[in-house]
Amino acid sequence: MSRSGGGLEAEEVDLARTPLRELNAELHALGDDDRRRWRVLNPRGAHAVAAGIDAPVEVEIDGHAGYYCAGMNKRATVRVRGNSGVGLAENIMSGTVIVEGNASQSAGATGHGGLVLIRGNASARCGISMKGVDIVVQGSVGHLSAFMAQKGRLVVCGDAGEALGDSIYEARLYVRGEVESLGADCVEKEMRDEHLAELRDLLQRAEVEDCSPEDFRRYGSARRLYNYEIDDAGTY
Amino acid sequence: MTEFDALGHARDAVERRAAQRGWRPGMRESALFDRDAIHEIQRAAREGIYDIRGFGAKRQVPHFDDLLFLGASMSRYPLEGYRERCDTDVALGTRQASKPIELAIPITIAGMSFGALSAPAKEALGRGASATGTSTTTGDGGMTPEEREHSKLLVYQLLPSRYGMNPDDLRRADAIEIVVGQGAKPGGGGVLLGQKVSDRVADMRDLPTGIDQRSACRHPDWTGPDDLEIKIHELREITDWEKPIFVKVGATRPYFDVALAVKSGADVVVLDGMQGGTAATQEVFIEHVGIPTLAAIPPAVEALQDLGMHREVQLVVSGGIRSGADVAKALALGADAASIGVAAIVAIGDNSPELEDGYAELGTSAGFYDDWHEGRDPAGISTQDDALAARFDPHLGGRRLANYLRTMVLEAQTIARACGKSHVLNLEPEDLVALTVEAAAMARVPLAGTGWVPGAAAPSGPQPPATTG
C-alpha cells in the first residue's frame, strides 16, 4: 500500500498490488478523525470494493467496480469513475455513492438512507425494496425498478422500463421521460408543491442542472394491495 | 352479519349437533372426501381465499419414527450411562470464519421473527438457548436489542425482504444465515397479516402500520449460485471474515442445493424439511411443496461427501425435530446439528392445556391451535398485542426451553451410548434400520431384519448375508 503523504492528498491503494481484503480492512478500521481521502487504483471490476465503511471519508475508485461496490455504506462518500456492477450500494444506510458511468442491476437495492447518484443509466431493478434511500439516475432505468419499494425517493431523468414500482409501498418515484408500463398497484399521482420542492432539493443535491422539477411526473402506491381482498386477486 | 357469516354459523350448529349425536352404523365417512376435505371445500366456497396458517405440515410422511437404532450387541460394546462420557459439542463455521460458533449441544433454535413472535417470546428463546449453550436465530424482521441481549449466540438472517438489515447488526451477530428458502414453503416469500404489523414491527420493517406485509421470495441483489458466491464474499468483507456464513435451503433438490451452497462458499448449510414450521403460509404450500426431512438428509450428506466437505461444511437439519431420538437419527444420517422451531414454541408454552379456555374462544383447542398469523395467541407467543404478550413470562418460558433442550440432549446421549459412541456425532447410518420400505429407501438404511436398501445399486463384490427373520 503506497502512502502518498499527509495533508489533503489522498491515500492511494493500488488493487493491482494490494489485496482487496487489505483495502477494506483499512477502510473499516478508520475512525472519525482518520485520513479523509482515499483513492483506489486498478479496481478492474473487483467485487465488494469499499463495502462496509462506517466513517466520514471520501473514497474515489479510479475505474470500473464489480458487484456490491460500497455495499451497506455508512457516512462515506464513494465515487466510481467508471461503471459499476450488480448491487451498487446495496442496503446503503447513509452517505453518498456516485457512479459516473452506468450501473448494473439492483442499484441501491434495499437501501435505508443516504444518496445514490448514477450519472449514466441503471439497469433492471434499480431501487428494488428500497427502504428510505434516495436514488437519482441521470439516464434511464430498466424493468422492475422500485419493485416493492417501501420508502425513499427514486428520481429518473430519462425513461423507465416495464413494471415500474410493482407492488410499491410508500416510496415516491419521479420520472421525467417515458414509463414503459407501471407495475401492480403503482399509479401516477398528482405533483403537488411539496413534491416539486423535494424533487428540486434532490436534483440540487445530485448536482443535476439540466432538468427542471416541472418536467417530471410522480408515481406511487394506489394502496389497493395493502390489505388483501379476494376480488383484487387478478391484479397481482 | 353477511350472508356468508350466517351460513357459517348455521354450518357450525349442524356440525355441533352431529357431534352430539355421534356416529351410528351406516354413517360411512369417505376416505377421499373425509370431514376435513369437505370442511375445506365449504370454507373455500365461503371465503374465496386459500387458508393461511402457522405450524408445519400435518400430513403423515416418512419420518424419523420410521427408523430404529440397533444398539450395541456382541460385535460392539456400549458405553456406561452417567459415567462414561458422551460429548455433545459442535463447532459451526470452521471452514472459513475466523470466529466459528462453539455450541455445547447439537440443537439450535431456528429463525423466528420478532413480528411473528412477541418480544417476550423471543427473549424466552434467547434465555433457554443461552442457558444450554446454543444459538438462536433472528427472522424476517431484523434483530431486536432484547434478542441480542438475551442470546449468547445469535444467528442473523439475511432474507429477501432485508427488513431491518444493517451492517451494525451484521457485526453484532455471531453468524449470518442467508435464507434461500424454508421447508414449509420452498419457493415462497413471507406474509405477516396486518393485525400483527404493530407500530414497532412496522417501524423495524419500514412499512406502514396495519398493512398486510408481503416478503419477497427472491433476493433483490443476487440470482443463482454464481451471484451468491459474490454475495457471500461481500458479507465476509463487510464483517472482516469473522462470521460463519450459513445458507438455509428448503428441502427440494438437496443434493444439488447443498453442492451449490458449498460451491458458493457457505460455511454451514441449513436444510429444512417440509415439516418445518412457519408463522404464516398457505396451507396448500405447507402440505404440498418440498420433501420430507428424512428424504433430504442422505442426498445432502452425499453431496458433502462427494465434495470432500462432510464435517468441513457443517449440515444443520430442521423440520419435524421433536425429541432426542429425532436429533440422534438426524446426526446418525450425517447431520452436524439439528434445529427446532415449532418444538421450541411448544416448549415455551404454545398449545398449553392450561390455556384451553382461550383456545376454545378462538374456536380451537390446545394441541390444535395453528392460527399463529392472526396475532390472537392466548399464550402471548405469536402475537403483537401488548396485553396478550404481557401474559407470557419470558423467565418461565426460558426455563422450560432449557429443560426441554437438556432432555433432548440426554435422550440423544442415551442412544449414542447404547450404540457405543463417545460423541453424538459418532452416530452413523450403520447404527440405523428402517421400519418401512419407504423409509429404508429414503434414509438409505436397510429395512429392519434384512440387508435390503431399496434403490441402492447392487454391490458388485461379495454380498453380506441377509439376515432372515
Residue A65 pLDDT exceeds 90: yes
Q: Among A24, A72, A129, select the one facing B220 at the smallest CB separation.
A: A129
ipTM of the complex: 0.94
**Grid coordinates given for B436:** 418401512
CATH number of A43-225: 2.160.20.60
B interface test, pick of A23, A150, A168 with most B CB neighbours within 10 Å: A150
Contacts A125 to B, Cβ<8 Å: 220
In this predicted structure, what is the pLDDT of residue B284?
95
B234:A51 CB<8 A? yes
Diameter of chain A measured on Cα atoms: 68
Closest residue in A to B205 (Cα) is A131
Residue B358 to residue B347: CA distance in whole angstroms: 18
Contact B221 A93 (CB under 8 A): no
Which of the four pLDDT bands, split at 50, 70 and 90, describes residue A6? very low
Arithmetic mean of pLDDT, A17-24: 98
Q: Report, as an integer, the average pLDDT of A138-165.
A: 98
In chain B, which residue's Cα lies nearest the Cα of A128?
B220
How far apart are alpha carbons A120 and A64 in whole angstroms?
Answer: 13
Of B208, B216, B237, the CB nearest to A51: B237
pLDDT number for residue A4:
45
Return the pLDDT at B196.
82
pLDDT at A2: 46
- In percent, the amount of chain A with pLDDT more than 70 equals 93
Confidence (pLDDT) at A230: 60
Q: Which residue of A has its CA nearest to B48?
A: A230
B47 neighbourhood in chain A, CB within 8 Å: 230
User: Coil, strand, or helix at residue A141?
Assistant: strand
Regions in chain B scoring below 50 on pLDDT: 469
> Cα angle vertex B219, ends B306, A100, to 5°?
115
What would the pLDDT profile of A76-118 be if each residue is shown by its tens digit?
A: 999 999 999 999 999 999 999 999 999 999 999 999 999 999 9
**pLDDT score, position B192:** 81
pLDDT, one tens digit per residue, over B408-466 is 999 999 999 999 999 999 999 999 999 999 999 999 999 999 999 999 876 555 555 65
Does A7 have pLDDT greater than 60? no
Instruction: Give the model's pLDDT for residue B365.
Output: 96
Cα separation, B333 vs B455, in Å, equals: 17
Nearest to A71 among B168, B212, B238 (CB): B238
Q: What is the pLDDT of residue A9?
A: 83
Q: What is the pLDDT of residue B99?
A: 98
Mean of per-residue pLDDT scores for chain A: 94
Put simply, whether the predicted model's pTM sits higher than 0.90 gets the answer yes
| Residue from B24, B95, B165, B69 nearest B415 by CA | B69
pLDDT at residue B8, as a whole number: 66
**Chain B closest CA to A195's CA: distance in Å?**
20
**Helix (H) / strand (E) containing A13:** strand A11-14
pLDDT band at residue A22, thresholds of 50, 70 and 90? very high
CATH of domain B64-418: 3.20.20.70
Task: Report the residue of chain A nearest B167, measured CA to CA.
Answer: A72
Domain ranges of chain B: 64-418
pLDDT of residue B469: 44
Is the predicted pLDDT of residue A158 greater than 50, yes or no? yes
